[in-house]
Amino acid sequence: MTAVLVGTDGASIVRRMLRRWPLGLLLLLAAAPYSALPVPGLLDGPLGSPGSLQLIALCLIYGGLATSYDLLLGHTGLLSFGHALYFATGLYATDLAMLELHLPFAAAVLAGIGAALLLALLLGAASLRVTGIGFSMVTLAFAQAGAILVQRDPGGLTGGEEGRAVPADRLPGALVGIGNTANLYWIALAYLVLVLAVVRWTVGSPVGRVLAGIRENERRVEVLGLRPYGYKLVAFVIAGGLAGAGGAVYLLLTGGATPQAASSDATLALLVMVVLGGSGTRWGPLLGGLLYTWAAHRLGDLANSTDVAGLPAVLRVPLSQPLFLLGALFVAVVYLLPGGLAKLPARIRTTSPLTSLPASRSVRGE
């Protein structure tokens, strides 16, 4: 009986640890700037070095952006191909508010987020008039129009292909320079926490329960007397506003606005992130965003390394293409982990010998 009780306690401890690992990860991320731990293969320098913090902060931003996109895809069932447009709106609008309107930093950020919210409201109101593949095509058309507008550089406002740099003289001193990379990193982490909180609150609210019903069967929601259009528009605007906030943080981190942020390829990358992590899960899009962004940068370095250059042509040619490596990684994860990375803890629980023990046993007869 004692052995059984010990085994049961051990199983419950394992289950609690598996459920609470995201909190531990966030605490570790918050303490990263204070660490000099070398991470060979994963990062170029120590964990707390400016270069490593820059890459991790970028991963955090895209993790939050993927989470905001999953509010549409995984929780509402809306396949949008224009989510990056609102990210780019927050990015460019914040930059232009400082350069053209000469607003202070905080006011410019609010202006950028407000512009993303307004654009999401207007375009969402039009896009959601149609459903299914029609909705996806309309959002794609809006995204393409936005990308073309940025490339054409109307009035010299967007900088065209070269983009526009952030005015350093209008930023707080604590956010300028390599020595302050840790402050930018913490802002990126705060953005991620904000997105996770807003999405979690939305999904758990009465509106979120209606969104889940729309995802499963929109016709049934209509039969119940509810109007799906309004609820979908709320989700669209919330997701767009969160993406716009991510654009403002990205502007701080990279020091400028670039047209790549407005391309439809950026939204396709978000779709891959969500699928990698697990659509419709709490932590899956975050994990997918972290993995994809890290891999996009590190595999690019691998593709250009001398190790790959010395391989035979049959291996060197495919391995020198970062997109090939990303595609291979995506196929491997989808094939080996159906449902994404978020399903991995459940798989561990089902295969662990501790979790296979019964939850309770009768005392008599032991």
Kindly tell me the sign of the dihedral angle through the C-alpha atoms of 41, 42, 43, 46.
negative
Q: Over 98-115, what HEC string results?
A: HHCCCCCHHHHHHHHHHH
The confidence score (pLDDT) of residue 366 equals 42
Phi, then psi, of 165 in degrees rounded to 5: -80, 150
The confidence score (pLDDT) of residue 36 equals 84
Instruction: Dump pLDDT digits (tens) for 162-186.
Output: 888 887 788 888 888 888 889 999 9
Extract the residue ranges of the chain whose pLDDT is less than 70.
Answer: 1-22, 264, 301-311, 313-322, 345-366
Q: What value, to the nearest 5°, has the Cα angle with vertex 111 and ends 110 and 116?
A: 100
Q: Taking the model in full, what pTM does it have?
A: 0.86
The confidence score (pLDDT) of residue 160 equals 83
The confidence score (pLDDT) of residue 363 equals 41
The confidence score (pLDDT) of residue 12 equals 64
**20-351, CATH topology level:** ABC transporter involved in vitamin B12 uptake, BtuC (1.10.3470)
Domain positions in the chain: 20-351
The confidence score (pLDDT) of residue 39 equals 79
The runs of H, that is alpha helices, within 20-49 are 21-30
Instruction: Dump pLDDT digits (tens) for 295-305.
Output: 888 777 666 66
Phi, then psi, of 175 in degrees rounded to 5: -115, 10
